[in-house]
C-alpha cells in the first residue's frame, strides 16, 4: 500500500491533496466538511486587511460546458474573503486545533507596504497555522487595487514582498504565481531569489467565459455589464503543466518545491503534476463542481496506480518526467512514426479520413476495393497524430515508431540509431555553418 504522506515546504499532511485558496476554504464550516472527507490540507481563502472587501451579489461564476454539459472550464469574479479578519483567524485557530494532522496554510493579500505584511503575518502566526501562501495572482478586482496579479506580474515586486515575508515570519512562505505573464520564469526566479520556501501555481487566467448574445454583454454580467474573470478547471491544466515544467527545469528555480494547481479532477491529473516536479497539488474547481468527496477517488486512484508502478512514496516519482521535457531543437528529426488503424476496433465513422484529407496529408483511404475502409497510406503519413487524437474509439489508432534500419517510405530515409536534432541536421543552414 503506497504511502501518500507528504512533507511539503516543511508542512506535513496525510496526502498530497490540498484544497486551493478559494470559495471552498472560506469558512471553518466548509473546511471541516472537507477534512471529514479526507483532504490532506487546505489553503484558507485569502485574508486581507479590514474592512473586508465587498463582493457582487450578482453572478460570480461562469462555465464552459462540454457537449454533455460537464464543466470543463470555469471562471469567477469573486474577490478575497469578505468576512472580518478576526473571524477568519479565530476559525483557523480552532480548526487547526481540532485537526492537527491536516495542513492549514493561510493565503494572504495586503497592499505592497511592508507594515501591512508585518501586521498580518503576526496575527496569522498566533493561529498556529502551518504556513502562508502569498496571493500574488488574483487577476480580477484586487489587481485593480494594486494587489494580486498586479504584484505577481512584476518580478521585482514578487521578490520584494517575498523578502518581507521571509524576514518577518518563521512560517514557511509559499508564493502563488499568476499565469497572466509572457514567461513564468522571471517571477518564479524572483520568488526563489527572495528565499521562498515553495512556489504554487497557477492562479486563474484572465478570461471572458462567453457572451450573452441577447444582452450583448460578457458573461457573467452584473446589471448588464461584465468584467473579465479568472479562468480555471480542466481546460487550464495543459497551461499549468507547462509552467510547472518550465520552473522545474530552470536551474535557478529547480530546487524550489512546487505545488501544482489547475484543472485537477482525479488521481491521474495529480500524478501528472507530481511527475513534472510538484510535491503536492491543490484543487478547487473539481470540489466546487462535485463536492468534497472527489478526494476519495483521488486518494484511492493514486494509491492503486503507485502500487501498480511500485512507487512507495510520492517522492519516488516526483519529478521523474522533468528530464524528458526539452526544447524543440533537441527533438530527433530522424525519428518517424506511422499511424496504424486497428481494423477490428474501427467503427468506420470516417473522421480520420476526412480530417487527414481536408486539413492534413491525404494519408488515409476512404474506401478499398469499393468498400468503406480506412487505412493509412505510409507513403503520405507524416505521423502527426491528428487521426489518433480525433478517433472516437480509444486505442483504435496507434502511432507506431519505425525501428532503426527501417526505411520511411514517405521520405526514403533509413531510420538510424544516432539522434538527428535540428541543430545538427543537414537541412539546417546554421548547422552547416557551424560544422564548417
Task: Give the residues lining the site for other proteins (CB under 8 A).
Answer: 67-68, 347-351, 353-354, 366, 372, 392-393
Question: Of 67 and 403, which has the nearer Cβ to other proteins?
Answer: 67
CB of 344 to other proteins, least distance (A): 10
Question: Of 312 and 347, which has the nearer Cβ to other proteins?
Answer: 347
Question: Of 392 and 412, which has the nearer Cβ to other proteins?
Answer: 392
CB of 394 to other proteins, least distance (A): 10
Question: Of 14 and 350, which has the nearer Cβ to other proteins?
Answer: 350
138 an active-site residue? yes
- 117 to each of 47, 168, 177, how far by Cα in Å? 11, 8, 18
CB of 214 to other proteins, least distance (A): 13
CB of 220 to other proteins, least distance (A): 20
CB of 353 to other proteins, least distance (A): 6
CB of 354 to other proteins, least distance (A): 4
Question: Of 103 and 381, which has the nearer Cβ to other proteins?
Answer: 381
Give the cell for residue 50. Answer: 479590514
Question: Of 300 and 343, which has the nearer Cβ to other proteins?
Answer: 343
Residues carrying an active site annotation: 138
Amino acid at each position: 500500500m503506497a504511502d501518500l504522506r507528504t512533507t511539503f515546504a516543511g508542512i506535513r499532511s496525510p496526502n498530497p491533496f490540498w484544497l486551493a485558496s478559494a470559495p471552498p476554504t472560506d469558512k471553518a464550516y466548509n473546511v471541516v466538511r472537507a477534512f471529514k472527507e479526507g483532504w490532506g490540507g487546505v489553503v484558507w481563502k485569502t485574508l486581507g486587511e479590514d474592512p473586508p472587501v465587498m463582493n457582487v451579489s450578482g453572478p460570480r461564476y461562469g462555465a464552459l460546458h462540454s457537449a454533455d454539459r460537464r464543466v470543463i472550464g470555469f471562471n469567477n469574479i469573486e474577490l478575497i474573503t469578505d468576512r472580518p479578519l478576526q473571524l477568519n483567524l479565530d476559525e483557523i485557530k480552532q480548526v487547526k486545533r481540532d485537526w492537527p494532522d491536516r495542513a492549514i496554510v493561510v493565503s494572504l493579500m495586503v497592499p505592497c507596504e511592508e507594515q501591512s505584511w508585518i501586521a498580518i503575518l503576526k496575527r496569522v502566526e498566533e493561529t498556529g497555522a502551518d504556513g502562508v501562501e502569498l496571493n500574488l495572482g488574483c487577476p480580477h478586482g484586487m489587481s485593480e487595487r494594486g494587489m494580486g496579479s498586479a504584484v505577481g506580474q512584476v518580478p521585482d515586486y514578487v521578490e520584494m514582498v517575498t523578502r518581507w515575508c521571509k524576514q518577518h515570519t518563521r512560517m514557511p512562505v509559499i508564493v502563488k504565481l499568476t499565469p497572466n505573464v509572457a514567461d513564468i520564469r522571471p517571477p518564479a526566479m524572483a520568488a526563489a531569489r527572495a528565499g521562498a520556501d515553495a512556489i504554487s501555481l497557477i492562479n486563474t487566467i484572465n478570461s471572458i467565459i462567453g457572451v450573452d448574445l441577447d444582452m450583448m454583454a460578457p458573461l457573467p454580467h452584473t446589471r448588464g455589464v461584465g468584467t473579465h474573470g479568472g479562468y480555471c478547471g480542466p481546460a487550464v491544466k495543459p497551461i499549468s503543466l507547462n509552467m510547472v515544467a518550465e520552473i522545474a527545469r530552470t536551474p535557478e528555480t529547480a530546487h524550489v518545491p512546487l505545488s501544482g494547481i489547475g484543472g485537477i479532477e482525479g488521481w491521474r491529473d495529480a500524478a501528472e503534476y507530481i511527475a513534472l516536479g510538484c510535491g503536492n497539488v491543490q484543487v478547487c474547481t473539481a470540489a466546487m463542481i462535485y463536492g468534497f468527496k472527489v478526494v476519495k477517488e483521488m486518494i484511492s486512484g493514486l494509491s492503486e496506480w503507485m502500487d501498480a508502478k511500485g512507487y512507495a512514496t510520492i517522492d519516488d516519482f516526483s519529478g521523474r518526467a522533468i528530464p524528458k521535457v526539452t526544447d524543440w531543437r533537441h527533438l530527433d528529426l530522424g525519428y518517424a512514426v506511422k499511424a496504424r488503424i486497428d481494423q477490428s476496433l474501427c467503427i468506420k465513422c470516417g473522421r480520420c479520413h476526412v480530417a487527414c484529407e481536408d486539413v492534413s496529408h491525404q494519408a488515409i483511404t476512404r474506401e478499398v476495393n469499393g468498400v468503406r475502409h480506412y487505412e493509412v497510406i505510409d507513403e503520405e503519413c507524416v505521423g502527426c497524430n491528428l487521426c489518433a487524437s480525433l478517433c472516437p474509439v480509444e486505442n483504435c489508432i496507434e502511432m507506431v515508431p519505425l525501428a532503426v534500419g527501417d526505411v520511411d517510405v514517405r521520405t526514403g530515409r533509413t531510420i538510424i540509431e544516432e539522434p538527428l536534432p535540428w541543430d545538427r541536421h543537414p537541412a539546417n543552414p546554421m548547422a552547416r555553418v557551424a560544422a564548417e
